[in-house]
Structure 1
């Protein structure tokens, strides 16, 4: 397999998305004071809340995220990079109904990232929840479906990686919806549901970026 310039840019977009999201989560969480941010108790969305106060009737907790603009900006950047990666690698990953449906569902998930970034939970909970449903619902179904891409396609070459990511994501989504944190807390379980897609995209970006560009292919010598 080899990439044209468009595909290589798409791979680089995918490669950058997860690190931006994770670094912003870490920095924003470390800026919390009294109480400190808990990766097991607090949701990812708590990092983006614009106001301080008790939040959530299901699991009441105090939320105060002074660097929420950083988190929301990084989440929006993640949405743009994931969407760009999908669109720029659209034809490269393969064809057929399975691949196209998976790509469409994953593209909907990138819209979910944009929604949760632009509408923090304490500003517009309905749109924020819709974004979360797109990420953990449509996106994770799309990720699992991508694992069934035909082996003859580019996407099908990494079936084991994709299926593993999709199964983990859907298991995390199911347990998070049931508010079951097991040993890592409900907040930790939310990360199991959310992170497989951007981490998978990052891994795929690395694999695609390692492919030789079209201009590097040697032409047969004329005789």
Structure 2
């Protein structure tokens, strides 16, 4: 398997791994049950049980927090490998380079979040969240400016829509505005677009590689 396909495979694995961890670890909660509307993603990785968050107090007890933090670390590694292995294939130019660096920084945010659960080191965990929220979504918006001849340039519409959705999610989440889906649901609007985007980029790369081999 060449570098491009291996990098694409990393990105294709990252999103379902993180999503599966959110579902499976959440199902392990008993008292209280986990809610995607009420609970933050970070709650799944908290290592202690108790009332958490002074601004939005809620009981948190995640029996499988180790699984969540391990899956988050693996997601970070897969996202970073996807960037590094596909680096040449994603295109040239300032926008493509900036998008790759911003996505790599978001991967670093996942790694930091796994290493510093919110109830262990809240400041480092908040920094991790900012890397994911701000830089990850900004990376997609910058990708929308990539040269049209590149892989990223061919995804301008998707990059713009997903990046804008993520940014809107961040603003509303930080403002504690839930639009009926809960603050936890709004956090997912802020986080998940980047994972969807990496899957779409990976699929486009795989198809482009297949077309080159057939031509």
**TM-score for the superposition, normalised by structure 1:** 0.93
Task: Work out whether 1:216 is the aligned partner of 2:210.
Answer: no
Match of 2:50 in 1: 53
Match of 2:186 in 1: 189
Structure 2 SS opposite 1:210: helix
1:15 corresponds, among 5, 12, 16, to: 12
Task: Work out whether 1:72 is the aligned partner of 2:73.
Answer: no
Give the superposition deviation at 1:204. Answer: 1.6
Give the superposition deviation at 1:209. Answer: 1.7
Q: Equivalents in 1 of 2:108, 2:175: separation in Å?
A: 24
Q: 1:171 to 1:214 in 2, by over 3 A?
A: closer
Match of 1:179 in 2: 176
Q: Equivalents in 1 of 2:152, 2:68: separation in Å?
A: 31
Contact between 2:46 and 2:61, CA under 8 Å: does it hold in 1?
yes
1:39 corresponds, among 22, 36, 39, to: 36
Q: Equivalents in 1 of 2:48, 2:106: separation in Å?
A: 26
> Which consecutive aligned stretches of 4+ in structure 1 deviate over 4 angstroms post-superposition?
none
Give the superposition deviation at 1:211. Answer: 2.8
Query: Unpaired segments of 5 or more residues in structure 1?
Result: 219-223
2:2 corresponds, among 1, 5, 29, to: 5
Match of 1:86 in 2: 83
Q: Equivalents in 1 of 2:160, 2:29: separation in Å?
A: 36
Give the superposition deviation at 1:171. Answer: 0.4
Q: Residues 2-33 of structure 1, C-alpha deviation per residue, up to 9 Å, x if partnerless?
A: xx810110001000000000001100000101
Q: Which has the higher relative contact order, 1 or 2, with Cα contacts under 8 A spaced 6 or more apart?
A: 1
Q: Equivalents in 2 of 1:207, 1:79: separation in Å?
A: 21
2:163 corresponds, among 166, 169, 172, to: 166
The number of residue pairs the alignment matches comes to 215
Q: Residues 91-135 of structure 1, C-alpha deviation per residue, up to 9 Å, x if partnerless?
A: 111111111111111110100000001110000111111100000
**TM-score for the superposition, normalised by structure 2:** 0.96
Query: Unpaired segments of 5 or more residues in structure 2?
Result: none
Q: Equivalents in 1 of 2:190, 2:123: separation in Å?
A: 20
2:199 corresponds, among 188, 197, 202, to: 202
Q: Equivalents in 2 of 1:203, 1:215: separation in Å?
A: 18
Give the superposition deviation at 1:214. Answer: 9.1
1:118 corresponds, among 115, 118, 128, to: 115
Structure 2 SS opposite 1:180: coil
Contact between 2:162 and 2:193, CA under 8 Å: does it hold in 1?
yes
Q: Residues 180-223 of structure 1, C-alpha deviation per residue, up to 9 Å, x if partnerless?
A: 111101000000000100111012212212233599356xxxxx
Q: Equivalents in 1 of 2:152, 2:160: separation in Å?
A: 11
Q: Pairwise CA RMSD of aligned residues?
A: 1.4
